[in-house]
């Protein structure tokens, strides 16, 4: 009688339920972490391009604009990074009131940044994001 009562017990049910749920939980957890890193990187680089555009709007030269872009990227961009464009060009007294745009192309990003834009969630195909990284200011 004692053996039959123990055989019908649910001692291992919690372990089995946990084993079934832990995979889904891991996918959600790591997916949120991967997306969070990618989102942080995008916001970080967008803020850096806005800051560089602000420098361009007050008639800074290209070297100063690039240095401000690197400084504002919080370590995402390497020193002396040159993969950005300033259009239509550095502001002059003649272009006062026009917009200046500082843009970073994805092909010019360092490999470490590109890697953050690839979201790899276990058991789900990779998701690659290709954000528009640009900042705009009006020439002063």
Q: pLDDT tens digits for 11-56?
A: 788 888 898 999 889 888 988 898 898 899 999 999 999 999 999 8
**Mean predicted lDDT score pLDDT of the chain:** 85
Do the Cβ atoms of 129 and 114 come closer than 8 Å?
A: no
Q: What is the pTM of this model?
A: 0.76
The DSSP 8-state label assigned to residue 123 in this structure reads T
Q: If you count them, how many residues does the chain have?
A: 140
Q: Is the pLDDT of residue 7 over 60?
A: no
Q: Is the pLDDT of residue 1 over 60?
A: no
pLDDT > 90: what percent of the chain? 23
């Amino acid at each position: 009688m004692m053996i039959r009562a123990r055989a019908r017990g649910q001692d291992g049910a919690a372990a089995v339920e946990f084993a079934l749920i832990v995979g889904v939980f891991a996918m959600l957890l790591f997916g949120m972490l991967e997306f969070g890193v990618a989102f942080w990187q995008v916001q970080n680089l967008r803020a850096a391009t806005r800051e560089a555009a602000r420098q361009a709007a007050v008639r800074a030269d290209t070297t100063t604009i690039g240095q401000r872009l690197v400084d504002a990227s919080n370590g995402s961009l390497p020193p002396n990074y040159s993969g950005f464009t300033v259009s239509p060009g550095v502001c002059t007294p003649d272009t006062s009131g026009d917009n200046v745009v500082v843009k970073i192309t994805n092909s010019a990003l360092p490999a470490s940044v590109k890697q953050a834009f690839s979201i790899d969630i276990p058991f789900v195909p990779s998701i690659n994001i290709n954000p528009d990284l640009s900042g705009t200011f009006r020439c002063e």
